[in-house]
Amino acid sequence: MRRLKPPFGSPRLYLFSDPIRLPDPRAAMERLPPGAVVVARSLAPAMLRDVAAQARRRRLILLVAGDGRLALRFAAGLHLPDRRMATGLLPFLLARHRRRSLMLTVAAHGWAGLARGRRLRADAVVLSPIFATLSHPGAKPLGASRWAALAARAGRRPVVALGGIGPHSVSRVPRRAGGLAAIGGLAAL
């Protein structure tokens, strides 16, 4: 069965909310171009409702992290974390089978996450951390060369670079990157 191209194409810019570094992504969302992706992580229900409305108004793609049922409630896509359980995955995948407009991304920190993205036929894989990042102090970054080698194993799906991306590092992101993702690097625009 040939996979249909999703109606949203391949977004190139991803903003991740973060409970500590970007608990309220609304100001940063105002500066994103239409078609950019907002990954809502750990937002309170009222905040998520506001973020969903703002995403629709600004023509941004909203992904809810880790909760397929919540994503469906807001007619949003789903981002699957690599290191914590997701809930409501089966209902989301069933709905996605009927409506290709539901985007699915998968987080990866190595080969296992990339393989998961292939199995689930994710629209993109977010591979991190490419560089040292404030979100995970002390974590060993992949570096541009190792990131590129891993990304090459993702098959045909876009691989998005996340981790330590900002004005000082963006030029070192490999050309293979199907997009850029950031928290602080985009929040400070």
pLDDT tens per residue across span 98-109: 987 899 999 999
CB 117 within 8 A of CB 154: yes
pLDDT at 8: 55
CATH number of 13-187: 3.20.20.70
Domain residues of the chain, as ranges? 13-187
CA separation for the pair 169, 134 (Å, rounded):
14
Q: What is the pLDDT of residues 2-47, one digit of tens each?
A: 333 444 567 899 999 999 999 999 999 999 999 999 999 999 999 9
Tokens, residue 109: 């920190």
pTM reported for the whole predicted model: 0.92
User: What pLDDT, in 10s, does the model give residues 145-173?
Assistant: 999 999 998 888 999 999 999 888 999 99
Per-residue pLDDT tens over the stretch 40-60: 999 999 999 999 999 999 999
Q: Strand runs (DSSP E) across the chain, as ranges? A: 13-16, 37-40, 61-65, 77-80, 104-108, 124-127, 159-162, 179-182
Q: What is the pLDDT of residue 9?
A: 66
